[in-house]
Each structure stands twice: as C-alpha cells, then as structure tokens.
A and B are shown apart, each in its own frame.
Chain A
Amino acid sequence: MSAPGTWASGIREALRHPFWQAVALLLGAYLLFEFGIALVPPLVGIKSAPIPASVLVQYMLTAVVGILLYVSDQEERWRRFKEPIRAALVDPNKRWIRAALLIVVPISAGFVTYRQVRPSVGAGAQLRSIHPAPPSTISFRGRTMTLAGLENLLRRSGDSAQHLATGRRVYYANCLPCHGDLLDGRGQYAHAFNPAPLSFADNGTIAQLTESYVFWRIAKGGRGLPREGTPWNSAMPAWEEFLTEDEIWSVIVFLYQHTGWKPRTWDEEGGGGAP
C-alpha cells in the first residue's frame, strides 16, 4: 500500500492467479477490440475505424469462451480459478463484497436491459448484402440478356483507348457526384445517402464480381435489386434509362482500369464453396 514496489509485485502476484488472469485477459481483449483495432493500425499508416457494436459483441463472446476454456482445461487451474468466486460467495469475512455484488449485479443487468429497450431516434443497425443473387436473365430495353457467361464485348472489339475515354466521360458526367473522384464512394453528395454509395476501390465490391454482374447493377439500379435483400433504400438510378449498352460497358472498362481490379472471369468454376 505504501511503496510503488509493493504495488507492482502485488499485481504480479495477482496475475499468477487464474482468476485475475481471466479478468485481465477479458479487459485486455475489450480494450483491443474497442480501441486497439481503431487506433493501432493508423500508427503504422494503415486505415482503420472503430468496429460496429455487433462485431464487438461477437468478438467478446469468442474471447469469453476462450478464457473459460483456458481456466478450466487443467484441474488445478480450474480449482484455483473457482476459489475467489467461492470465497466471495460464502466466506464470512467477505460479507461486504457479497453485499456489493448483490447491488452491482442487478443494477448492471437493469442498465443493460434499459439500454436495449430504450427507444432511440437513430436508424437501427442494418445488414445489407452487398452482393445479392442476380437474376439469370434481365431485359435490357426490351431485349433479353442472359447474365451467365455474358462478357464485355468491348474488351474484344474496337479501340480500347477509345472505350476507356468514353467510360471516363460517362463516369464523370453521371457517377461522379456520388461515387466520387477517387471511385471511393465519397462523392460530394455521398453523405446524404444511406446506404452510402459503394466504394469501387474496396476489395469487396467490383473486385469480387464479373462484369456482367456490374452491368446488371448499373443497368437496373436500386429499383432492380431483388426482394431477398430488402430493405434496400438504394438511391442508385436505373441507368438503362439514360445510357446505351455500349456506354455502360465502357464505364465498366473505366471502373476496372481506374481501380486496378481485375473482373472475376467466367471460367469453368465459380466462386468459393462452403469452407
């Protein structure tokens, strides 16, 4: 209690005890998930952000399970882990701790419940499936197109520099306000939208898709999204009403060229199966 030395050694002593180890691990995991993920990568120049509450809960659940397995996988450790809990519950000289627990536990349970049922004005958490299943065929201006195996014919015919130039023009004329100068989904108007416009620079959007899929999304827009993933609320216009087929294909050429991603190709197999 007096000198710093005894404090340090006291903590070291406590950390040899499984119970306090578990507490420390739990605390450490929480700090890592809540703040570490958001704050550490930027120190070495990697972009990061706080993780959503849903993911935090999931990670903490995993951590709790792991810690419980740790304290109980050896008989001796398990026995020592239970000691302080048992002591707090039955030892006569721990009456005050017991009383404190009796007050703290119900209050925290009540607090958690309160937080969950409290009405709030914000829009609730929502899940969007970025890649809903496409239909097998779409009708593009009255013409039926089969999406499976559909390829960007501009890649095989005509002047590719020309297509790129057309695509660039189309992009800057139509897509720029939302999807932005850097194709990162941060155009001037982007902040007004929920869901936000997609970032093409992200490794999870066009980088994962075939060009026919991208064509479908551009042509049909937010209205053309399948019902399976509602609510969509996407403000993306159906560009088939404004652009010709070749214009859409050339803007796709531009998107891939500019981001450096390669479209997923149609070969004998599709994407990943169940791991």
Chain B
Amino acid sequence: MWRTNLKIAALVLGVVGLFTLVANSIPQLESDVPQALDLSGDLSPAALVAAGERIYGGAGGCATCHGLGTRAPNLFSGEGGQGAIGARCGGRKPGMSCKDYLFESLTEPGAFVVPGYQPIMPDLRRTLPADQIWAVVAYLESLGGSVDVVAEDVRAAQATAPPAPPAPPAGGATQSLDPREILAANACVGCHALGGTGGAVGPPFDGIGRRLGPDQIREAILNPAATTSAGYEQMAGVMPATFGQQLTAAQLEALVTFLASQR
C-alpha cells in the first residue's frame, strides 16, 4: 500500500507542480496600486520634489499662469538671464533665503510682487494643505537650485493648525465692489479681453452679454469646466475653478451684472 500512496502523492505533487510551472512560465503581470502621495513620513528630497511636481501641474493649478502668456513670471526659463526659479529665488528679496521667499510668495503672494507684474496670485493656503505647499517649494527649488526643504518643515507645517488658512480676506487682492477693480485684481483681463485690451486665452468680455445670460456667466465663473465656448476647446480647463472661493458673494454678483451688460 505504501507504494500506492507514494504513487498518488507523486501524481498530486506532479500535477500541482505542472500547473504552477505553467502559470509561472508566462511573463508575470502585477496590478499595481495607484501610488498614494504620503507626506507624513520621513521624505527624501527627491520624493518631495516629485510630489511637488504633481501638485504644480495638477491640484495647485500653477501652470495656469506661470508659463502661459505674460501674466506671471515664467518659472522654468531664465527671465532675462537670471536662471530658472530655483537659481534666482535667493536673490529676489533682500535678506530672505530662497526657501523662505518661495514659501512667502505662495502663502502671502501680495507681500512681494515682481516688478512688471500685477498682484494677481491667489493665496495657495486656500487650496492646498501646508505640507503640499512645502512640496511645491521643494519642486521650485529643484528647478535650477538645490533643495533645502527638510522633513521638519513639512512636519511643522502639519503640526501648526490644520490646513486652516488664517481666514484670508476674500476678494482676491481687493475688497472693492467696483467690477473693473475686481476684474483687475483677479487678473481676469490676463486672459479675457475687455475694451479691446487683454489676453486672448479665453473668450473676450466684449459683447459677452449678447452671448450669455447672467446665469450662464455665473456658472462659467464658478465652474469653468462646465461648458467651453466654441473656438476655445484648446483652452478648456485652463481657467482656474477657484474664483468661487476668491470672490465674495457681493463681488460675484457685481461682476455678473457688469458682464451681462457688456453687449
């Protein structure tokens, strides 16, 4: 009987082994998990930079202005021989290190505006948690400079109060209810022409009241992705969806009324 038992065991092992061998002999494909962005642990600078790059092109919405047109400094190119942002940041504001300068311009954009540009940049604390802002700083430093953002910065940012931005005054850089001032302060004319001047990235404001009703204008401001004007398909998605947070309700209504009257 032992012979039979051994034979059976050999058969079972042989068959199971064959199946395993066949399954292993084809190229192996694993289904990876989409990578999570974990800024909690001890991060290497390279990981921070990679995370920052993703935010720069994605959630941060930075590329909307920086790099497209002349509304904001181009961070990749030399800007007149000064080198990319990582190289020139240290000398931008006297007495401020590169790291501090970048962090300040992301969190208090109005504190220092590069000459020749409008103060149109929004406070990123409204859209990003502090640790992610540090990741963006690291990324910017890596563009031509050396990264000196360390894990402590990220951790300190996480420790200091939840992502709560210090109740920033809404309305972008202005509190005014004058529609023209709102348009200027929020850099709308950077993309949309008014009175014949302004960018051509988006449809002009001239005559917009003929094309859209007030409700449509309101929707276009609050949720730019909802519809795209004919002829601007290439630019779909460029307009930030942050104006809902940037404008006060009164400002928004003033703006809508003003635009609807542009016939």
Touching chains A and B, CB distance < 8 Å: yes
Q: How far is the CB of A51 from chain B (nearest CB, A)?
A: 16
List A residues 227-264 near B (Cβ within 8 Å): 227-230, 244-246
Do most interface residues of chain A lie in helix, strand or loop, or is the interface mixed?
A: mixed
Q: Which of A203-232 contact B (CB under 8 A)?
A: 227-230
Q: Which of B27, B32, B225 contacts A127 (CB 8 A)?
A: B27
**Contact status of A127 and B29, CB under 8 A, knowing A142-B225, A144-B225:** yes
Q: Check if B228 is an interface residue, CB within 8 A of chain A.
A: yes
Segment touching A, from B79-87, B128-136, B208-216, B230-238: B230-238
Asked whether, in the complex, the Cβ of A143 is within 8 Å of the Cβ of B237, the reply is: yes
With both chains docked as a complex, state the minimum distance between the C-beta of A209 and any C-beta of chain B, in angstroms. Answer: 20
- Closest chain A residue, CB of each to CB of B30: A228
Q: Which residues of B contact A126 (CB under 8 A)?
A: 27
Q: Closest B-chain residue to A54, C-beta based?
A: B26
A144: nearest chain-B partner, CB-CB: B225
Which residue on chain A has the smallest CB distance to residue B235?
Answer: A141
* B: interface residue count bin: 10 to 19
Minimal beta-carbon separation of B72 from chain A (angstroms): 18
A-B contact count (CB 8 A): 36
Tell me the chain B residues, 15-70 only, with Cβ under 8 Å from chain A: 26-27, 29-32, 34
- Complex interface: chain A residues within 8 A of B233 (CB): 141, 244-246
The answer to whether B27 and A141 touch across the interface, beta carbons within 8 angstroms, is no
Contact check, A127 vs B228: say whether CB atoms are below 8 A apart.
no
Are A143 and B228 in touch, CB under 8 angstroms? yes
Q: Closest B residue to A58 by CB, please name it.
A: B22
* B27 lies within 8 A of A142 (CB): no
> CB of A113 within 8 A of chain B?
no
Instruction: Give the CA-CA distance A125 to B29 in the complex, in Å.
Output: 14
Q: Are B31 and A228 in contact (CB under 8 A)?
A: yes
Interface 1/0 per residue, B232-258 and A, CB below 8 Å: 011011100000000000000000000
CB atoms of B237 and A142 under 8 A apart? yes
What residues of A have a CB within 8 angstroms of the CB of B34 in the complex? 227
Residues in A79-132 with C-beta less than 8 Å from chain B: 125-127, 129
Contact (Cβ within 8 A) A143 B225: yes
List the A side residues contacting B234 at CB < 8 Å.
Answer: 141, 244
Q: Report the nearest A residue to B61, measured CB to CB.
A: A142
Residues of B within 8 A of A (CB): 26-27, 29-32, 34, 225, 228, 233-234, 236-238
A-B contact pairs, 24 of them (CB 8 A): A54-B26, A125-B27, A126-B27, A127-B26, A127-B27, A127-B29, A139-B237, A140-B236, A141-B234, A141-B236, A142-B236, A142-B238, A143-B236, A144-B225, A227-B32, A227-B34, A228-B29, A228-B30, A228-B31, A228-B32, A230-B29, A230-B32, A244-B233, A246-B233
Q: Which 9 residue pairs spanning A and B have beta carbons closest together?
A: A142-B237, A127-B27, A227-B32, A228-B31, A141-B237, A141-B236, A244-B233, A143-B225, A143-B236
